[in-house]
Structure 1
Amino acid sequence: MNNNTPVTPRPLSHLVDAVRRRVFSAAQLREHGVAAARAAAQCRPGGPWQQLLPGVYLLHPGAPTSEERLHAVLLYAGRPGPEAKGVPAQPGSVPSPSPSVSSSVSPSARPPASPYGGVMVTGLAALALHGFGSTPGLRALDVIDVLVPRTRRLRSTGFARLIRAHALPRPELVTGVPVAPVARAVADAVAELSEAADVRAVLAEAVRGGHCEPAAVVRELNQARLLARPHVVDAVDALLAEGRSLAEGRLYEMVRTYALPEPVWNVDLRLPGGLHLGGVDAYWPEQAVAVELDTRAPRQGGPQDDDAIWSEYARKREHLERLGVTVVHLTPRKLRESLEQQAMVVGTALTAADERDPAAYVVVLPR
């Protein structure tokens, strides 16, 4: 039997009864014995099926559900493209094992192949799946964004909007649907939002809801070249301020919850002669221990600016430590995910102060 051999017609009722969802690609229908001509006949006016997108069919005549639209978009965008015909895989993708390796691997040990070819939902639809309340629900979306490799030779059509990427992130499964990570989905959503209030709401929920850190969002916005838009820049400034405020709140909570000595908060350190040593978020003068929150986020300047900021952090830390001041470097993520462990790190630094040589005298001023 070859590709030109006619497929024997079979009753079509088994398709609807056999699967929970009733969305199929043309390739999947062929696997079930349904030729293209027969599928087209089922989609005639008044017929029992309909074609949602090119090569994607809905096996009932009514309006598709939100779930069916999601799977239709993924099946359309996930059809084999040129990368399946010898074009090198995208950076970050998992290569197929060589024949010599695959022959020794048990079929049951291999992960099941995705019917979507590695593509994933992104943008507003992804945020809705992640549980965002500041975005429209899936039913309200006219289009669904889907992230695809840049080599995919398909066009946006109908309610499927393709967003191309040089390297696809690792998707997250939400109710069985591959979805872009929140930071990437936020950037793709912001690219389509023109109202400043909508951008601020999405960014704020990403941080307040604990979905991701501000730096991750700003990094994706920067890579998408969205920081040149004034309404996005304003929203990012508010986001970074809110992210710092949340991190400071967790730092206060850490000190009080784990009964650490009360430090002086948000101070500048100077030498008696007036030389400025830098600001720190918390300082214990008797133990000469400082805590500094790392709330850096990349901006339009790119990696060079980020490197310059980090160099300034490192210079300040080295200067303080030469004077005998212990600097504990904390990130918002560490405070959010492992507060007790960070309290132990700070507590250890405070306890070890008795074993160190006395630090140089520094002047502490409000910041």
Structure 2
Amino acid sequence: MIEPITRDLLPPPLLLQDDVARRRDLLAAGVSQHALATRCRPSGPWQLLLPGVLLLANSPPTRRQRLRAAVLYAGAEAVITGVEALHEHGLAVSGNEEVHVLVPIRRRLSTRDFVRIERTSRPPRPEIIDGLPFAPSSRAAVDAARTSGDAEKQRAFLLAPIEAGLRSAEQIRTEINAGSQRGTAALRPLLEEPLAPLLTNTVHEGWARRITRQTPIPPPTWHVRVYDRADQLLGTADAWWDDVGLAWDFGHQRDARTAIRQSTFAKEGIVTLRTPLPHLRGNPVAVSEDLASAFLRATQRPRPPVRAVLTSGTVR
């Protein structure tokens, strides 16, 4: 029979965040060696995730628990970087389940299981998000790219913060030049001409994409051509919510063409929100509220009989 452990024998709540704790903290709190060994048996209620780090549950660890375990294993000065840090910054990139952790160069710690340990002489100042330390998006992007052997993924990692409006191409380039040079030879050409102008032109879309992720409405389709029932082109929407017939215009300066497009959309019953670029960049909370309000208006009338088309096919 497994020795019972009451809550008052466990460490303080701070050490039990996400039901993950260090073995030495459990021992210091009064949990016996026998209790730990018994509860961490294959059929027991606890499990060893990493050397010296336990999960106080017998279910597979969640992403959050893996991150917490990695930080406890790596120590107080650890910083999560790479793909997991990009995810925490709200960037949708694909990668493996490895948790890439930076530690000061003086530390003697090895990579174990799902944790990749990298010693660095230039540790970044962490950004604390929900109680865990993450590298800034520029450092995370470069670390993810230089440790990947896939050219397409390298490009995706480097461009993710730029497209989201979190960093400029120049900031990413500066990070490449300042950091470890291992694995960076293939990265510099990705930020050279003619790519740089393209990145500059997509920054405002990155701002918009970030705002939509923070707005409690469904995600839109980007860059669609809208046609009426007679198959006549009405115009192009920067972002489009097809189920309700909502168009968002943010990528153009106010001129005669945008005025005509908005008027044409309105005649067809399309709800259109136009956001000036300075407002898009400088007041994302207000823009998010505007989007939510426009979406609500669009749901309160029948969807107009229009058809939206992507370059690669039909939306409806």
Q: TM-score, normalised by structure 1?
A: 0.50
Unaligned runs of 5+ in 1: 1-9, 79-116, 258-333, 340-367
User: How far does residue 39 in structure 1 lie from its aligned partner after superposition?
Assistant: 1.6
Secondary structure, counterpart of 1:21 in structure 2: helix
- Structure 2 partner of 1:120: 79
The aligned residue for residue 100 of structure 2 is 145
Map 1:157-236 to 2 at 5 A: 157-222=112-177, 223-225=179-181, 229-230=185-186, 232-236=187-191
Between 50-59 and 125-134, the greater mean CA deviation after superposition: 125-134
TM superposition shift of 1:336 = 9.0
Tell me the percent identity. Answer: 32
1:26, 1:36 within 8 Å by CA — same for their partners in 2?
Answer: no
2:59 aligned residue? 62
Alignment partner of 1:129 is 2:91? no
Question: For residue 258 of structure 2, what is the aligned residue in structure 1?
Answer: none
Q: Name the SS for the 1:163 alignment partner.
A: strand
Paired residue for 1:45? Answer: 42
Which of the residues 242, 249, 252 maps onto 2:198? 242
Shift of 1:16: 9.8
CA contact (8 A) 1:16 1:59 kept: no
After superposition, the Cα gap between the structure-2 partners of 1:211 and 1:228, relative to the gap in structure 1 and judged at 3 Å, is closer
- Whether the 8 Å contact between 2:141 and 2:160 is mirrored in structure 1 is no
The one-letter code sitting in structure 1 at the alignment partner of 2:103 is V
Q: Following superposition of structure 1 onto structure 2, how do residues 282-321 of structure 1 map, counting pairs within 5 Å?
A: none
Task: Name the aligned partner's letter for residue 183 of structure 1.
Answer: S
Change (3 A) 1:36 1:153: farther
Between structure 1 and structure 2, the one with the greater Rg is 1
- The aligned amino acid for 1:134 is V
Distance 1:171 1:129 in 2: 12
Of 155-164 and 14-23, more deviation after overlay is shown by 14-23
**CA, structure 1 residues 127+239, in 2 after alignment: closer, same or farther (shift >3 Å)?**
farther
Kindly tell me: are residues 28 and 234 of structure 1, through their superposed partners in 2, closer, same or farther at Cα, counting changes over 3 Å?
same
Contact 1:214 1:239 in 2 (8 A): no
Kindly state the Cα deviation for residue 30 of structure 1 after the two structures are TM-superposed: 2.2
Distance 1:48 1:17, change over 3 A: farther
Question: Residues 247 and 186 of structure 1: is their aligned pair in 2 closer, same or farther, counting only changes over 3 Å?
Answer: closer
Q: CA deviation at 1:11?
A: 4.5
Output the CA distance in 2 between the equivalents of 1:146 and 1:123. 8
Gaps of 5+ in 2: 208-249, 255-277, 284-316
8 Å contact kept, 1:187–1:224: no
Structure 2 counterparts to residues 62-81 of structure 1, below 5 A: 62-78=59-75
TM-score (structure 2 length as normaliser): 0.58
Inter-partner Cα distance in structure 1 for 2:12 and 2:102: 31
Deviation of residue 73 (structure 1)?
0.4
Pairwise CA distance, 1:159:
0.7
C-alpha distance in structure 2 between counterparts of 1:226 and 1:175, whole Å: 31
- Amino acid aligned to 2:40: C
Cα distance 1:36–1:217, how it changes in 2: closer, same or farther (>3 A)? farther
In the aligned structure 2, how far is the partner of 1:32 from the partner of 1:201? 45
Contact 1:221 1:227 in 2 (8 A): no
* 8 Å contact kept, 2:11–2:29: no
Query: Once the 2 structures are TM-superposed, how far is the Cα of residue 234 of structure 1 from its aligned partner?
Result: 3.2
Query: Any idea what the Cα deviations from partners look like across 1:149-206, whole Å, max 9, x if unmatched?
Result: 1111111111111111113211112222211001111111012222221122222221
Stretch of structure 1 that moved more, 57-66 or 33-42:
33-42
Equivalent positions of 1:7-46 (< 5 A) are: 11-14=4-7, 15=10, 19=16, 21-46=18-43
CA distance in 2, matches of 1:219, 1:227: 15
**CA-atom RMSD, angstroms?**
3.3
Deviation of 1:45 (Å): 2.3
CA deviation profile, 1:4-30 (whole Å, cap 9, x unmatched): xxxxxx952414996552110022212
Q: How does 1:81-120 map to 2 (within 5 A)?
A: 117-120=76-79
